[in-house]
């Protein structure tokens, strides 16, 4: 496990967990869910984390062997991640990146255009289209947020984000 310098007891990313650690984390989530059962507090996993843990948690609850391969599987070719639609980021120099896993891929700069123009601009559209085409221009193949989900699940995730149920 890789330990972050600033949080010595935390791994840098869940992508660096080994199988035993994945199961330990999933069991901890189950314990927390059970402890909150019947209370007014609900444990809600961040959607991308839920995408990677939901099946493992249900398998553990069913007392079957969890398929940890699924956790590690990253369909980079069809990485249904909505970050380039929902979570563009601005760097201190004003440049805008389409998502946290974008590396050096910028989609424009607030020095020269408004945020609305940047996120609707040709480079932002190209990144989003590349996700839909299964040939991401960003670093999905090494990103811990890459999702092993289908495009039907992707659509459901989007509908939830847009306020649907
Ligand atoms: S690099 Fe790919 S998986 Fe990572 S946040 Fe960006 S779009 Fe999502």
Residues of the chain short of pLDDT 50, as ranges, are: 1-4, 75-77
Who lines ligand 1 at CB under 6 A? 79, 81, 83-84, 99-102, 131, 136, 138-140, 143, 145-146
CA distances from 87 to 2, 18, 54, 62, 94 (A): 26, 28, 22, 35, 15
Confidence (pLDDT) at 123:
96
Check if the beta carbon of residue 29 is closer than 8 Å to that of residue 52: no
Residues 6 or more apart whose CB falls under 8 angstroms from that of 2 comprise 11, 12, 13, 16
Query: How many angstroms does the Cα of residue 42 sit away from the middle of ligand 1?
Result: 27
Q: Which of 138, 139, 144, 149 to mutate to test the pocket of ligand 1 (most atoms within 8 A of CB)?
A: 138
Check if the beta carbon of residue 141 is closer than 8 Å to that of residue 77: no
Confidence (pLDDT) at 33:
94
Q: What is the C-alpha to C-alpha distance for residues 90 and 26, in angstroms, rounded to an integer?
A: 33
Check if the beta carbon of residue 146 is closer than 8 Å to that of residue 100: no
Q: Which ligand 1 atom is at minimum distance from the Cα of 139?
A: 1
Q: Which of 52, 77, 83 to mutate to test the pocket of ligand 1 (most atoms within 8 A of CB)?
A: 83
Check if the beta carbon of residue 147 is closer than 8 Å to that of residue 51: yes
- Tokens of residue 29, six digits: 């989530």
CA distances from 25 to 41, 60, 89 (A): 20, 11, 29
Q: Strand pairing partners for 90?
A: 96
């Amino acid at each position: 496990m890789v330990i972050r310098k600033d949080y010595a007891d935390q791994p840098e990313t869940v992508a660096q967990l080994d199988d035993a650690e994945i199961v330990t984390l999933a069991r901890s989530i189950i314990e927390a869910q059970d402890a909150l059962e019947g209370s007014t507090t609900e444990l809600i996993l961040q959607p991308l984390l839920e995408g990677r843990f939901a099946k493992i948690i249900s398998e553990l609850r069913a007392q079957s062997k969890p398929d940890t391969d699924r956790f590690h599987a990253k369909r980079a070719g069809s990485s249904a991640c909505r970050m380039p639609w929902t979570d563009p980021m601005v760097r201190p120099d004003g440049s805008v990146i389409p998502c946290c896993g974008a590396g050096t891929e910028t989609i424009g700069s607030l020095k020269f255009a408004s945020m609305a123009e940047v996120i609707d601009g040709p480079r932002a559209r190209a990144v989003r289209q590349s996700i839909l085409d299964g040939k991401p221009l960003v670093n999905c193949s090494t990103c811990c947020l890459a999702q092993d989900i289908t495009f039907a699940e992707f659509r459901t995730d989007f509908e939830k984000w847009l306020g649907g149920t």
